[in-house]
Amino acid sequence: MSDTYLDLVSSGPAASLAKKLGLPKPARLRRTDPSSPDCPLTPGPVLVLSDGGSGTDADTVASDLLAWDLDVRRDTRLGEHDRWGAVVLVLTGLSHPAGLSEPALALGSVLRRLAPGARVVTLSRGAPPALAAPVGADPAVSAARNAVDGFLRSLAKELRAGATGNGLVLADGVGLSAPSVRGGLRFLLSARSAFVDGQLLQVGSDGGAEPADWTRPLVGGVAVVTGAARGIGAEVVRVLARDGARVLGVDVPAAGEALSTVMNSVGGIALQLDVTADDAAERILEVARSRFGHLDIVVHNAGILRDKLLANMTPERFDGLLAVNISAPLRMNETFAAPGTLGGDGVAPRIISLASTSGIAGNRGQTNYGAAKAGIIGMTRALAGPVGEAGGTVNAVAPGFIETEMTASIPPVPRQMARWGSSLQQGGRPVDVAEAIAFLASPQAGGVNGQTLRVCGQMMVGQ
Ligand code: NAD
């Protein structure tokens, strides 16, 4: 597994051999310590830089960061032995790509002084990059907004020592103090976003609410996680429970024992159920309501791999995969996304599904899997509108290469290449995906809707 490789190349004779061969030496990522969830947000002072037109917005961000007890600086001077914990670039006033030069070069001048695991976060305005600009949009403004996208994604590929670069893109009209801007900024600065790199997350509205306690934002919420017996699903159960939710875990009867162990460890409920059953959603709702009174958060995580080149594909492999990975979430959402089904006790509905970078970039041998995971992204976009009108959100996460039993079945050479194919030069851990899901499930993420957040260490494939 990647940690063994990391240990090997970090010291001793293997380290010098690896260096001679030019093999990657991945950094240890800054991750949350489960025993102390309120560890410092950043590993050092935070520098706030802005473009010429964003002065007031930069002041707002700086005072928010100060209120979180961070050491906030507005110029690039730093003590001889200090290292920057984060740089926040406020680019909301950008009206021409040329305006990027001053803050970009100021950032460049401090890059060699970033602490291990530091964060660079951009705050800018615009629609999601994939969308056309509205009719009548100023080409220079549109160019400037998209320039932030290319700048950030390229910068993230230059960062070292576990540092990451990500951005929040605010729709016009969304204020800097909106819950999802503040909540998104906290997530991206924190250790919770360890394997999110080179990504821009759209905040589409002022929706959502700040939690009473940032370390337990899900108190009062009830969640169901499918495929909870192992891998990513088991970690999602643990992280949602750590954040205060009561959790129901679902898995097939064959995984019943492992499921019970996971659910007992968090005082949750285990439900043995195949998600392809016609009445799966109704059974989940019945159990959640009878044990907890309501259901608020649905995590569609259960999934399978049935890789084969299309020339060798069988109907069992193609149809069997689609049944679990996309038809089951689609069918269950007919119930979960219906008005009045999810939410209660003041907790807003949340539906979060597992997509994959294979559904974005495609992957050889995975026509079935790529189709299903791209289908998840399409389903997410379509449900965002109606569920959003009812005060909820529907989002997806797209993991890249994550170390689980699923990926342990990939042959060794492509497995190692997949690890090295990301900017962070390693595979992610299930907890990295779980943290992103917990953020999207939180009340502060209420302004993020219809999005697919990649948790992939910036895989070189795809956008
Ligand atoms: P995993 O194989 O380790 O775990 C999947 C779980 O889902 C298992 O416990 C399995 O029993 C359960 N499951 C399978 N079919 C089911 C069914 N019909 N009903 C109920 N439960 C069922 O997989 P993982 O690596 O933890 O992946 C979890 C999710 O993340 C999947 O949707 C997967 O496609 C997605 N994903 C994983 C990676 C990765 O690198 N591991 C990358 C991208 C996406």
What atom in ligand 1 is closest to the CA of residue 255?
A: 11
pLDDT tens-digit profile of 64-81? 999 999 999 999 999 999
Mean pLDDT of 335-348: 93
Mean pLDDT of the 8-24 span: 73
In this structure, what token pair is assigned to residue 179?
A: 């819950």
pLDDT digits (tens, 9 = 90+) for 276-286: 999 999 999 99
Catalytic residues, by residue number, are 369
Residue 303 CA, ligand 1 centroid: distance in Å: 4
Averaged pLDDT, 106-127: 96
Burial class (CB in 10 A: 0-12, 13-18, 19+), 212: exposed
Decide if 192 contacts 435 (C-beta within 8 A).
yes
Beta bridge partners of 347: 344
Q: Is the dihedral of CA 429, 430, 433, 434 positive or negative?
A: negative
Helix (H) or strand (E) holding 395: strand 393-399
Query: What is the spatial distance between Cα 65 and Cα 84, in angstroms, rounded to a whole number?
Result: 14
Alpha helices, DSSP H, located in 251-402: 256-265, 280-292, 315-322, 328-336, 358-361, 367-389
Q: How confident is the model at residue 35 (pLDDT cuts 50, 70, 90)?
A: low
pLDDT at 2 over 80: no
Q: Cβ(429)–Cβ(329) under 8 Å? A: no
Nearest CA to ligand 1 atom 39: 402
Nearest to 86 by CA among 109, 52, 56, 117: 117
Q: What is the pLDDT of residue 431?
A: 97
- Is ipTM over 0.90? yes
CA nearest neighbour of 124 among 153, 94, 100:
94
Nearest to 37, CA basis, from 224, 190, 175 = 190
Predicted local distance difference test score (pLDDT) of residue 261: 98
pLDDT at residue 36, as a whole number: 65
As a whole-number percent, the residues of the chain with pLDDT over 90 amount to 84
Would you state the pLDDT for residue 71?
A: 97
What is the average per-residue pLDDT within 269-298? 98
For the chain, the residue count is 463
Q: State the pLDDT at residue 463.
A: 43
Banded pLDDT at 1 (limits 50, 70, 90):
very low
Average pLDDT over residues 164-170: 98
Ligand 1 within 6 A of 427 CB?
no
Dihedral-angle region of residue 7 (phi above 0 means left; psi in -120 to 50 means alpha; beta otherwise):
alpha
The sheet carrying 114-125 orders its strands as 72-73, 46-50, 84-90, 114-125, 164-170, 200-203
CB distance 404 to ligand 1 below 6 Å? yes
Single pTM value for the model: 0.96
pLDDT digits (tens, 9 = 90+) for 299-316: 999 999 999 999 999 999
CA neighbor of 294 nearest in space, from 285, 303, 302: 285
Nearest CA to ligand 1 atom 31: 303
- Give the atom of ligand 1 at the shortest distance from the alpha carbon of 276: 18
Q: What is the mean pLDDT of residues 30-44?
A: 80
- How many other CB atoms are found less than 10 A from the CB of residue 331? 18
* CA pair distance 438, 241, nearest whole angstrom: 10
Per-residue model confidence (pLDDT) at position 15: 72
